[in-house]
Amino acid sequence: MMSTMKMSAQIATALALFLLPVLSQPALAQDPRAAFESAQNALLNKDYASAEKGFQEVLRLDPHSAAAYSNLGIVYMRTQRFDAAIRALQEAKELAPAVRAIDLNLGLAYYHKQEFAKAIPEFSQVLQSQADNYQACYLLGMSYFMEDEYQHALETLVPLASGEQDNLDFLFVEGICYGKLKREKESEKAFDQLVRLGGDTAHLHFLLGKAYLDLYINQHAITELQKSIALDPKLSFAHYNLGVAYQRLGMLQKAGKEFDQEMAITPEEPWSYENRGEVSLDLGQTDMAIKFYREALARRAQLPKTLAGLGKAYLRKGETAQSIRYLKQAIAIEPQIGSYRYQLGQAYLKAGRQAEAKEEMTIAEKLQAEAREKQALQLSGKMPSPEVPESKR
């Protein structure tokens, strides 16, 4: 759920307050022991350059030191090099698979990379042997939420609720989960507590606006997000979410302006460029759409919606080879999206590749029928909303 991933910079800030555990020193030979102690002291003193060099020296002397790999991973995490952190922590896990602190830190690295599906099994493994690990439980619940697994998120987070009633972001997540599961009373209770606690602040109005947006109550979302921006015009992701609300209601010019303003505030994020590309395409501005889509991919290479958008844009320009190339990339990432298959079928048809066009159209029809059936079941109530077990409440 990409929109939810932009919900609040404050969640990431709150999670960053958790202390990362540092593994205890192993029994090593004298030289690597001295190097390890020096590197560990540097890490504790936040001298990350010296810590990195020190742990690398330990690994030169002892390539099988799980503690050195683990603490090197922590250094990389604290210096925002998450890919390197994941590699180091995976090495540590291979050498010491029973050390749960490694799983926790590996989950954190994936979480910070917004790879929530990969973070979930790491946090789950911690809780299998440390059921009372608060940090792992909190992060697991948030990861489930980011992956739209609202039932699992509630089951994980509800046991923490009594200690989180002054946490705006927790209440936001709780309210969204209950709302998505059609449990209106619990959702209203969470949002009421959010309002009582938050006061008339930009952050509170942002959270309420985002909550309404996630529940598709778009006019309420616009009202709250406008209040948020009036109080803090440079609040991260407020303009983006307001743009999404306008875009849903077909107010494309207003949506484009909000995405433009968000780009100026968070230029490193791809989402406003992606949505700005969609708006430009809907307005018939094909070349401008391509420009924005390319800007999004420059910030994150594997964005299926952006890749599909480029495919659609090039199809409009009659450049079928380019269209097919980008649509196939989008399908490789998300093969279950019927609209991508339909667009690819159209591109094949325009390229004169009849058999391939027919195959893609058949797949598209099947996927779209399945999506309609699923939506109908949810709307008709034939699919009962799951409940949190009594023991979890």
pLDDT band at 31 (very low <50, low <70, confident <90, very high): confident
Per-residue pLDDT, 348: 96
Kindly state the average pLDDT of the residues 164-175.
91
In degrees, rounded to 5, the angle at the alpha carbon of residue 77 between the alpha carbons of residues 73 and 80 is 140
Report which DSSP code applies to 161.
Answer: G
pLDDT band at 2 (very low <50, low <70, confident <90, very high): very low
Buried b or exposed e, range 105-126, using 16+ CB within 10 angstroms: bbbbbbbbeebbeebbebbbbb
Per-residue pLDDT, 85: 96
In degrees, rounded to 5, the angle at the alpha carbon of residue 169 between the alpha carbons of residues 1 and 384 is 55
- Are the C-beta atoms of 182 and 35 separated by less than 8 Å? no
**CB count, 10 Å around CB of 285?**
16
- 281 HSE (CA, 13 A, CB side): 23
Kindly state the average pLDDT of the residues 344-363.
95
**Longest Cα separation, the chain:** 72
Per-residue pLDDT, 384: 36
Kindly state the average pLDDT of the residues 37-61.
94
The fraction of the chain above a pLDDT of 90, given in percent, is 76
Kindly state the average pLDDT of the residues 190-218.
89
Kindly tell me if the per-residue pLDDT of 16 is higher than 80. no
CA distance 230 to 90: 45
Cα-flanking dihedrals φ and ψ of residue 233, to 5°?
-65, -15
pLDDT band at 379 (very low <50, low <70, confident <90, very high): very low
Kindly state the average pLDDT of the residues 323-333.
97
Break the chain into its structural domains and give their ranges. 304-379
The more confident residue out of 42 and 6 is 42
Report which DSSP code applies to 383.
Answer: S
CA distances from 145 to 12, 111, 183, 383 (A): 14, 12, 16, 20
pLDDT band at 380 (very low <50, low <70, confident <90, very high): very low
Mean model confidence pLDDT for the chain: 88
**CB count, 10 Å around CB of 180?**
18
Tally helices (H) and strands (E) across the chain: 22, 0
pLDDT band at 375 (very low <50, low <70, confident <90, very high): low
Third-level CATH fold of 304-379: 1.25.40
Per-residue pLDDT, 97: 95
Per-residue pLDDT, 391: 30
Q: Name residue, tokens 């987070």.
A: 157
> What digits encode the pLDDT tens for the residues 277-303?
999 999 999 999 999 999 999 999 999
Counting every residue written for the chain, the total comes to 393
The fraction of the chain above a pLDDT of 70, given in percent, is 87
Report which DSSP code applies to 160.
Answer: G
**CB count, 10 Å around CB of 192?**
12
pTM of whole model > 0.85?
no
* Tokens (6 digits) for 264: 């100026």
> What digits encode the pLDDT tens for the residues 224-254?
999 999 999 999 999 999 999 999 999 999 9
Of 19-28, 80-89, 333-342, minimum mean pLDDT range:
19-28
